[in-house]
Amino acid sequence: MAEQGKQGRTPSSDTFLPLSRVRTIMKSSMDTGLITNEVLFLMTKCTEMFVQHLASEAYKDSFPASKQPSSDTLKYDHLSQLVNKSKNLEFLLQIVPEKIRVHEFQEMLRLNRSGGSDEDDDSGSGSGSESDE
C-alpha cells in the first residue's frame, strides 16, 4: 500500500505491542481522560520506536563501528551508561540506575543521614542494619 519507506522503515498501521496493555499503562498516569483509538495507536507506535531507539543507541555507543557481523551482547551496563549521558533520557535515571556496590550504597545512606534530614527515621526495614543511631 504505502511504498515510501524512510530510514529503512515503512510506515504501517500495524502495532506489535498489545494495545490493551498500553491503554492500561496510559491510564495509570493521573488524570488521563478519554483515550481515543488514534492516540492509543500513536502511543503504542512511539513506545515501540522508543524500545528500538534505546536498544540501538546503547548498542551503537558500546560497540562502535564494528562492521563485520558481531556477536556482542548488549548488557545492562550499556543501557545505564547511555541513560546517564543522554539528556533526553534523564527521566530514566532512576529507572535504569547505574549499579553500585552495597557498601557504596551504605556509604551514601550514611552521608545522607548525617546530611540533616531525619525524615526517614522509621525506614530501617529496608536497609536492615541501623547501628549508627
Distance (Å, whole) CA 4 – CA 79: 32
Q: Cell numbers of 26, please?
A: 496510559
- Shortest Cβ 94–other proteins spacing (Å): 4
Question: CB of 89: closest distance to other proteins in angstroms?
Answer: 8
Q: How far is the CB of 87 from other proteins (least distance, A)?
A: 6
- Contacts to other proteins from residues 63-122, by CB under 8 A: 69-76, 78-80, 83, 87-88, 91-92, 94-96, 119-122
Q: Output the smallest distance, CB 110 to other proteins, in A.
A: 14
The whole-angstrom separation of Cα 106 and Cα 125 is 14
CB of 62 to other proteins, least distance (A): 10
61 part of the interface to other proteins, by CB under 8 A: no
Indicate left, alpha or beta for 56 from its phi (over 0: left) and psi (-120 to 50: alpha): alpha
Closer residue to other proteins (CB): 71 or 114: 71
Rounded Cα distance, 64 and 74, in Å: 12
Number of residues that bind other proteins (CB under 8 A): 75
Q: Which of residues 18-57 bind other proteins (CB under 8 A)?
A: 18, 21-22, 24-39, 41-43, 45-56
**C-alpha pair distances (Å), 70 with each of 64, 73, 78:** 11, 9, 16
Closer to other proteins by Cβ: residue 52 or 106: 52
**How far is it, in rounded angstroms, from Cα 41 to Cα 17?**
10
d(CA 60, CA 67) in angstroms, rounded, equals 11
Rule CB under 8 A: is residue 126 a binding residue for other proteins?
yes
